[in-house]
Amino acid sequence: MPLPELITFALYLIGMLIVGIIFYRMTGNLSDYILGGRKLGGAVSALSAGASDMSGWLLLGLPGAVYVSGINQSWIAIGLVSGAYLNWQFVAKRLRRYTQLASDSLTLPDYLENRFQDRSRLLRIISALVILVFFTVYTASGLVAGARLFESTFDIDYRIALGVGLLVIVSYTFLGGFLAVSWTDFVQGTLMFFALVIAPIVAIQELGGWNAVVREASNIKGGSIDIFHDTGRVGIISLMAWGLGYFGQPHILARFMAIRSPRLVPQARLIAMVWMVLSILGAIFVGFIGIAFFHDSPIDDSETVFIRLTQALFNPWISGILLAAILSAIMSTVDSQLLVCSSAITEDFYKSFLRRSADEKELVWIGRASVIVIAVIALGIAADPESKVLDLVANAWAGFGASFGPVILLSLFWKGMTRSGALAGMVVGAVTVVVWIQLEGGLFEIYEILPGFLLSSLAIILLSLLEGGPNATIRQEFEWITKRGSASDPIPPA
């Protein structure tokens, strides 16, 4: 690897550590560590949500898929953009408001317990366990992707690369908590955006203009410019169904809960959607341009098309910055997952069951210790990049979307939902995803999030209706919070 690229990578990693040190002094209690004291501005909320969402898929997976198959892979992008917009439009403001006014809930399990006044604590336990299991494996996959990037660009041993990447991510997450994670994600999201805008523009100029790119790509791979090429109804439905996952992703919903005021949501939504649309278009262009650019020397590993393109087009200093964008994409998701897992351990297990009398300083340090524990477990999984447990990661998005998505949506918009309905929805959604994965052929080729989401919603509605709805206190609190309440007014007694 050229020295300029090495220096660029090193400076980027040092910068992330400095952010962690800065926010270490601003983290005084558990709310600061888990949600940044609900102080995020609109731009930081928007870009940190986008960066933690997209991960390496945006710079590696999507360009690679388009490079192999053409723009028919854009259906997943259409589904994701639609889902993200609806999430910002309908969930963000109401979730921010409800989680603060209902006993200042800091985590999703905390919110669900308070929302349904669950004295059994089953909602908290089951939802926290789902988060821990899925995110620990999800985190391991991110570490594998980061280590492979280090390995290929630095030409160093996989395990050394894994250790270096993990050390940096754990350090700033451990020190600065949610604020450090959000601000590093803001920087990383900005870097990803510019990388995906600059690379295709320069590549198009290099190839003689857009018409030349289209002509060359069409000659090499017939149908690459046709969004319907070799894609049936089931394929389109499956790809677009990815958008349903947004309603149940804890690391994205945490940004809604942490924004400084519900009034900032429209601004954040605009920034987030502009960033997302332009970034996804850039990723699609990178993959499509790669078909024409590498026609003489096809790429063996399609997911490296962005890496290969930047190394071919730019001098080592610029390509180093653009390659750091790939690392940014990976790090921005791993740090968020670590923090959500830490929050589940600290708020939903330690504080709720083991040490209810723990002071804020103790809880912050338990949160920091939890980051290390989860990181070590993820490291153990990632140490073997071929481990079969990593196959589960492909289904984690569906698992969260189906188990949490309907529960969150209906809890925010339907006053007739009950605690038992919420429990049934989580269980049915998760089980449906797991079972559906084992089935093949016909309708079973549909992405598992769609049946999981639908059956989870049905289970919530049916069980809530059979119970006769929630009690009067829960109904009154719902109506007050969603229609009239303000942070300065106490919730009225039933």
pLDDT value at residue 487: 47
**Average confidence (pLDDT) over 325-332:** 72
Distance CA 16, CA 50 (A): 18
The residue that leads in pLDDT, 223 or 115, is: 115
Residue 221 predicted with pLDDT over 50: yes
As a whole number, the mean pLDDT across the chain is 83
Three-state DSSP at 429 gives: helix
Report the DSSP beta bridge partners of residue 259: 40
Phi-psi region of 280 (alpha: psi -120 to 50; beta: other; left: phi over 0): alpha
Domain assignment of residue 64, yes or no: yes
pLDDT value at residue 440: 67
Residue 492 predicted with pLDDT over 70: no
**Average confidence (pLDDT) over 91-103:** 88
Q: Kindly tell me the sign of the dihedral angle through the C-alpha atoms of 187, 189, 192, 198.
A: negative
| pLDDT bucket at 54, cuts 50 / 70 / 90 | confident
Residue 461 predicted with pLDDT over 70: yes
The answer to whether 342 and 374 have CB atoms below 8 angstroms apart is yes
Residue 482 predicted with pLDDT over 90: no
Domain assignment of residue 475, yes or no: no
- Predicted TM-score of the model (pTM): 0.86
pLDDT in tens, 277-293: 999 999 999 999 999 88
Domain assignment of residue 441, yes or no: no
Domain assignment of residue 298, yes or no: yes
The residue that leads in pLDDT, 54 or 306, is: 306
The residue that leads in pLDDT, 473 or 356, is: 473
pLDDT in tens, 193-206: 888 888 999 999 98
Distance CA 144, CA 123 (A): 32
Highest mean pLDDT out of 165-169, 262-266, 393-397: 262-266
The answer to whether 85 and 402 have CB atoms below 8 angstroms apart is no
Domain assignment of residue 130, yes or no: yes
In single-letter form, the type of residue at position 227 comes to I
Say which residue the tokens 């002071």 belong to. Answer: 359
Domain assignment of residue 450, yes or no: no
pLDDT value at residue 494: 43
25 Cβ contact list (under 8 Å, min separation 6): none
Residue 21 predicted with pLDDT over 60: yes
Three-state DSSP at 40 gives: strand
CATH number at residue 174: 1.20.1730.10
**Average confidence (pLDDT) over 5-32:** 76
Domain count, the chain: 1
Residue 488 predicted with pLDDT over 50: no
Residue 493 predicted with pLDDT over 50: no
Say which residue the tokens 């919070």 belong to. Answer: 481
Residue 443 predicted with pLDDT over 50: yes
Distance CA 65, CA 209 (A): 23
Residue 5 CA neighbour count, 13 Å, CB half? 20
Say which residue the tokens 């388009």 belong to. Answer: 66
pLDDT value at residue 271: 94
Residue 360 predicted with pLDDT over 80: no
The residue that leads in pLDDT, 352 or 485, is: 352
The answer to whether 142 and 337 have CB atoms below 8 angstroms apart is yes
Q: Which range marks the domain in which residue 199 is found?
A: 3-384
Domain assignment of residue 345, yes or no: yes
Residue 186 predicted with pLDDT over 90: no
pLDDT in tens, 375-393: 888 888 877 766 655 566 6
The answer to whether 271 and 43 have CB atoms below 8 angstroms apart is yes
The answer to whether 466 and 492 have CB atoms below 8 angstroms apart is no
Domain assignment of residue 279, yes or no: yes
The answer to whether 188 and 34 have CB atoms below 8 angstroms apart is no
pLDDT in tens, 204-216: 998 889 888 888 8
